[in-house]
Chain A
Amino acid sequence: MSPFEQTGSAASFDRPPLQVDGAVLARGALATVAWTAVAASVTLLANRKVGFAEPLYVDQTNLGLAAWAVLLAIATTIGAVWPPLGARLGRAAPWLVVLALFVGIWDLLTAKLGLLPVPFFAPPSSLVEVYAEDWPRLGESVLHSLRLLALGFLFGTISGFVTGVAIGWSRGLGYWVHPVLRFLGPIPSTALLPMSFFFFPSSFSAAIFLIALATWFPVTVLTWSGVASVDKAYYDVARTLGARRSFLIFKVAIPAALPHVFVGLFMGLGASFSVLVAAEMMGVKSGLGYYLQWAQGWAAYANMYGALIVMALIFSSLITLLFAARDRLLGWQKDVVKW
């Protein structure tokens, strides 16, 4: 509809007619239909009986799915006339349909037909059960993991940044630090787990050390290469303008090196996740890694999947946070990758 079609009537300016976005309506409707079908299939088809215990949270799961389908229907209705929501819904619709298919097939293969071996593959309702029943312990695990990760990553980042700037700037320091970096850096931190556990007073401090070490290596190497690759002309400019050594380091070398430092932080964060989980599985008696280990030990596979999903969400959010910080700090760069 062209806005020019109604220029004849003055009244139409006061209250423009609702514009219904047909594309959003169609996509939203498709997603709604898909989820309604899932809700119907999980509710109406009979569950296959497995073992002696009645599965819990089946009705709640079914209700939740139905509520979700209703929510989608409402969102589609609003989105069709309200572009901000419509745009998001339109973009998400294909994924919503695929997810609906996934949940529907998952429920069919587990709860309905029992085609997948039972303790290893849990139906959707058991995941709901995990979150509803075990959320205090899961939440506590998350907090423990985050605390360990934050401390280790922080120490690793600070020490890596300082080391990188120092050896990028000073040849004398580079002479001593470089061989250590080359010798110790490539060792996977997880390989040092057994050693650290008897060197450190607690498994907690050992884990912090190892996470810091895993972060330290990439942050050091990339900070160093960032400082070393700063255009020499930047220093010439600053020197002719009366800059001293400290200005050259803090106002020229470091800001110029920050894009490299960010890559180091990204790599360090990834490495720290893997050390965190390994440390929690091997010695630290708390956190998501410990929860995973514990769940597997008790054959509580639904709990394991639940914890994995939480872990994915948290780690992904942390990387999102890192990229958001990059965008704020390094907005002057062009053509950067979006997370």
Chain B
Amino acid sequence: MVAATLTAAVDRSAPASRGADLAIAGVSHAFDLEGRPLPVLDDIDLNVRAGEFVALLGPSGCGKSTLLRLVAGLEPPTQGRIAAAGELITAPDPSRVVVFQDPTLYPWRTVWRNVALGLEARGLLATQKGRVDDALRTVGLAGFERAFPRQLSGGMAQRAALARALVNDPSVLILDEPLGKLDSLTRIAMQTEIAELWRQRGFTTLLVTHDVEEALFLAQRVIVLSERPARIKAEIVNDLPYPRHRGDPRLAELRGQALAHLGLDASW
């Protein structure tokens, strides 16, 4: 824990252009359901290159969010190993930040103090207040510093949550369906912004979504997962350059493939 904190303290001075690679090896996980194990992940092997954008696509309830919790270090896997930048993940660390489906902003804190949370928790806030303002500007929330979460729209709240993650200069950004509850226009706008941020900052990004278009538009690689317990069913490589265009015929083609893997090709 001390070592991890020190590493983070060193990392903050360097420009956050370097992501960390992720190695997920033979990970299986089960929940305890009234005494009986409920398997949710079944022997997942996945390597993510440093700075890569990978999307996990699967039917709802298949266990993809669980995989993210394991990568974040919030829970240890029942079996298997997960390592980030060569180090085994045993606990949460501010170098791997999660943006959840709900913004989960603290209602008693202003937007500014919510975004400052990570720096405050690590005792860096006193010296690095400017990073909070930078993060708020990045997500377009300058001017809303003193607002309380209840005064924000869904999209703005999720932007604040994104700023709260970015302020830590993560080497791995873990996105757990962050746009799932937003209206479609806000969702499209924020997809473009996330792609842009990722290109500028270069962090490794792991995105869980059940939106096929979102996964293909954002990610370089889309991992299709099966029903619970989740196994890796297929891998779709999307080598289209960024910025991408939503109307690209290649995206439509890949979409057909992805839906076929999910068993939905008949309805398409």
Show the binding face of A for B, using Cβ within 8 Å. Answer: 231, 233-234, 236-244, 247, 251-252, 255-256, 258, 330, 332-334
Contacts and interface: CB of A to CB of B under 8 A. Distances in A.
A259 B22 CA distance: 41
B94 A256 contact: no
A258 B121 contact: no
A192 B155 CA distance: 56
Contacts of B8: 242
A270 to B, nearest CB: 25
Interface of B: 5, 8, 69, 72-74, 92-94, 96-98, 100, 102, 104, 106-109, 117-118, 120-122, 148, 150, 164, 168
Given A242-B93, A242-B122, A247-B121, A237 B5 contact: no
B99 to A, nearest CB: 10
Contacts of B5: 242
B83 to A, nearest CB: 17
A241 B106 contact: no
A240 B104 contact: no
A238 B117 CA distance: 7
Given A236-B74, A332-B148, A244 B104 contact: no
Contacts of B168: 241-242
Given A241-B164, A241-B168, A242-B121, A332 B108 contact: yes
A258 B74 CA distance: 26
B133 to A, nearest CB: 18
A333 B108 CA distance: 8
Contacts, number: 68
Contact of A244 (B72, B102, B121): B121
Contacts of B94: 240-242
Contact of A234 (B96, B104, B121, B150): B104
Tell which of A236, A237, A239 has the most Cβ of chain B within 10 Å. A237
Given A240-B92, A242-B92, A252-B106, 10 more contacts: A237-B98, A240-B96, A241-B94, A242-B94, A242-B122, A243-B121, A247-B121, A255-B108, A332-B107, A334-B150
Contacts of B96: 240
Contacts of A252: 106
6 contacts: A236-B104, A237-B164, A238-B117, A239-B74, A241-B121, A334-B150
A327 to B, nearest CB: 13
Tell which of A231, A243, A252 has the most Cβ of chain B within 10 Å. A243
A332 B107 CA distance: 7
A242 B102 contact: no
A234 B106 contact: yes
Closest 10 CB pairs of A and B: A241-B118, A242-B94, A243-B121, A239-B92, A233-B104, A240-B92, A242-B122, A255-B108, A332-B108, A240-B98
Contact of A237 (B73, B100, B120): B100
A234 B164 CA distance: 13
Contacts of A251: 120-121
Contacts of A236: 69, 74, 98, 100, 104
Contact of B74 (A240, A255, A332): A240
Contacts of A330: 108
Contacts of B92: 239-240, 242
Given A242-B5, A242-B118, A256 B98 contact: no
Nearest to A248: B121
Nearest to B8: A242
Contacts of A240: 72-74, 92-94, 96-98
A237 B149 CA distance: 15
Contacts of B104: 231, 233-234, 236-237
Tell which of A241, A242, A243, A256 has the most Cβ of chain B within 10 Å. A242
Contacts of B164: 237, 241
A238 B97 CA distance: 10
Contacts of B93: 240, 242
Contacts of B69: 236
Tell which of A236, A241, A251, A334 has the most Cβ of chain B within 10 Å. A241
Contacts of B102: 233
A258 B100 contact: no
Contacts of B72: 240
Nearest to A255: B108
B1 to A, nearest CB: 8
A228 B84 CA distance: 33
A252 B8 CA distance: 22
Contacts of B107: 332-333
Contact of B117 (A237, A256, A332): A237
Contacts of A242: 5, 8, 92-94, 118, 121-122, 168
B11 to A, nearest CB: 12
Nearest to B113: A251
Contacts of B73: 240
A332 B121 contact: no
Nearest to B122: A242
A248 to B, nearest CB: 9
A333 to B, nearest CB: 8
A59 to B, nearest CB: 58
Contacts of A244: 121
A156 B5 CA distance: 39
A15 B27 CA distance: 82
A252 B106 CA distance: 8
A218 B8 CA distance: 43
Contacts of A238: 117, 121
A247 B72 CA distance: 19
